[in-house]
Amino acid sequence: MAILDSKLEFSDAQVISASSASTVNSTNAVYLGLHYTDWLSVLGTTSGATAPNIGEGNNGLVVNFQVATALNASAYVVAKVYHHTASAAAASGAVLGSVTFSAADAAGTKKSFRIPAGTVNKWLQCQYSTVGSNMTTGAMDAWLGLDTETPTS
């Protein structure tokens, strides 16, 4: 079980009110920072800064999505995770992965995916696309965790 820090949240019951074929960016973007190849680069005496590789290790990191408030019966949501080198442009970067929530998914419906191994830029952000009809009642939770998990509250 991972400890969920608010700094790892993309959305916390974020209402996805959008018209058909439109998108909404997550409330938060996660800053991964730069990783360093050695202590001399941390001190600034060499240029050892590198982009993080958060998909490696034991099992890598997981992006978890959960429906907080039931989605409209006539629309579905495609939730994507982007990575970019700048915070203001995170949702215009490259897609790391996505999940699709069906029309009328109930509150508590959860899906997730693992961040792929390889270099990931220092900013991550989610984007929700509404397909089919206008979204007026749906809300989403999204967070970065160590495993596929469901929050307790």
Q: Summarize the confidence of residues 35-40 as an average pLDDT.
A: 56
Confidence band, pLDDT 50/70/90 cuts, at residue 35: low
Taking the domains of the chain in order of start, what are their residue ranges? 6-32+60-144
Residue type, 70: A
> In DSSP terms, which residues pair with 134 in a beta bridge?
none
| Closest listed residue to residue 137, CA positions, set 109, 110, 111, 105 | 105
Topology, domain 6-32+60-144: Jelly Rolls (2.60.120)
Percent of the chain surpassing pLDDT 90 = 29
Place of tokens 């034991």: 58
Instruction: Report the alpha-carbon distance of residue 114 to residue 12 in Å, rounded.
Output: 20
Reported as a single tens digit per residue, the pLDDT across 53-79 is 666 555 678 899 999 998 888 888 999
Instruction: Report the alpha-carbon distance of residue 73 to residue 59 in Å, rounded.
Output: 35
Place of tokens 């982007």: 82
> In DSSP terms, which residues pair with 63 in a beta bridge?
113, 144
* Beta carbons of 68 and 107 less than 8 angstroms apart: yes
pTM score, two decimals? 0.80
Reported as a single tens digit per residue, the pLDDT across 97-144 is 999 999 878 899 999 988 887 778 888 899 999 888 888 888 999 998
